[in-house]
């Protein structure tokens, strides 16, 4: 059955990989990004390669209204992938604007948009699958990125709770926890090869999780073990570690 799939943060490398996988199955794609101009080549490429319906909408986590986005869509989506994220300066404790941006893009705006979608889906008695891309950074606060980590921790907890809330309404929620991904976000950063996923690997893991109705998925699976160990390191040791 053809689905209408909303990709929020569609200019992200991961979202583009998801879009290609979903387009291969003939689904219609609704892409959102901060700039329509930046989305146009992506829209054109998807239409040309896969001959599917693709449309683009402006949505900026810092300035857009989620209800206005939902009204602008051709209808309610059957599947949503929320891929927007902002790493920023991960320890900007003296910069209130940067701290606010990290919290807004990774948590507050993501929650407000998911809430608005869920409200509309429940009102219209529609089933849907909502995928939120969080991060292993939310599993334990580390000194190197505790603001981004705190926002992702909040988002992971929200998604887990939303899955329990949505169950009775036919709304399934997937919490995705990638480790490192080779993408625009990490360009120029030294990444450990075997622990780093490509956007295509992340997309495949997400589509598989949607198909199997998984609740929570680590990408790559080794990260589940790594984070189990990281979460269990005693505080008196952890605070002296360079993580």
Ligand X SMILES: NC(=O)c1ccc[n+]([C@@H]2O[C@H](COP(=O)([O-])OP(=O)(O)OC[C@H]3O[C@@H](n4cnc5c(N)ncnc54)[C@H](OP(=O)(O)O)[C@@H]3O)[C@@H](O)[C@H]2O)c1
Q: Are 132 and 155 in contact (CB under 8 A)?
A: yes
Q: Which helix (H) or strand (E) holds 98?
A: helix 96-103
As given in the structure block, the two tokens for residue 37 are 């101009």
Residues of this chain, 109-148, that bind ligand X according to CB under 6 A? 133, 135
**58, 79, 93, 145, 224 from 8: Cα distances, Å:** 10, 11, 28, 24, 26
Residue number, 87 or 122, with CB nearest to ligand X:
87
As given in the structure block, the two tokens for residue 141 are 């606060």
Whole-number minimum distance, CB 49 to ligand X, in Å? 20
Which residue number places its CB atom closest to ligand X?
A: 85
Residue number, 1 or 187, with CB nearest to ligand X:
187
Residues of this chain, 160-189, that bind ligand X according to CB under 6 A? 178, 180-181, 183-186
Whole-number minimum distance, CB 217 to ligand X, in Å? 12
Whole-number minimum distance, CB 236 to ligand X, in Å? 28
Residues of this chain, 36-95, that bind ligand X according to CB under 6 A? 60-62, 83-86
Q: If we measure between CA atoms, which residue out of 129, 183, 179, 207 comes closest to residue 12?
A: 183
Is residue 5 at the binding interface for ligand X, with CB under 6 A as the rule?
no
Whole-number minimum distance, CB 17 to ligand X, in Å? 8
Q: Are 46 and 23 in contact (CB under 8 A)?
A: yes
Tell me the CB-side half-sphere exposure of residue 8, using CA atoms within 13 A.
29
186: three-class secondary structure by DSSP? helix
Q: Which residues bind ligand X (CB under 6 A)?
A: 9, 11-14, 33-34, 60-62, 83-86, 105, 133, 135, 178, 180-181, 183-186, 199
């Amino acid at each position: 059955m053809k689905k209408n799939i909303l990709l929020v943060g569609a200019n992200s490398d991961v979202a583009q990989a998801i879009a290609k996988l979903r387009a291969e199955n003939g689904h219609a794609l609704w892409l959102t990004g901060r700039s329509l101009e930046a989305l146009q080549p992506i829209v054109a490429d998807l239409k040309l390669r896969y001959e599917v319906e693709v449309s683009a909408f402006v949505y900026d986590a810092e300035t857009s209204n989620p209800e206005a986005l939902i009204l602008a869509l051709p209808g309610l989506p059957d599947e949503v992938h929320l891929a927007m994220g902002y790493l920023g300066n991960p320890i900007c404790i003296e910069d209130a604007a940067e701290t606010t941006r990290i919290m807004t893009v990774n948590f507050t705006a993501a929650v407000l948009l998911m809430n608005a979608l869920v409200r509309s889906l429940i009102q219209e008695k529609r089933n849907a699958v909502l995928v939120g891309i969080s991060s292993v950074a939310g599993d334990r606060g580390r000194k190197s990125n505790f603001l981004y980590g705190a926002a992702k921790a909040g988002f992971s907890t929200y998604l887990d709770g939303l899955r329990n809330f949505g169950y009775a309404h036919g709304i399934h929620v997937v919490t995705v926890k990638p480790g490192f991904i080779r993408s625009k976000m990490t360009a120029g950063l030294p990444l450990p090869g075997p622990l780093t996923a490509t956007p295509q690997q992340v997309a495949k893991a997400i589509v598989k999780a949607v198909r199997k109705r998984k609740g929570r998925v680590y990408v790559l699976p080794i990260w589940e073990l790594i984070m189990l160990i990281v979460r269990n390191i005693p505080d008196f040791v952890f605070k002296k570690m360079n993580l």
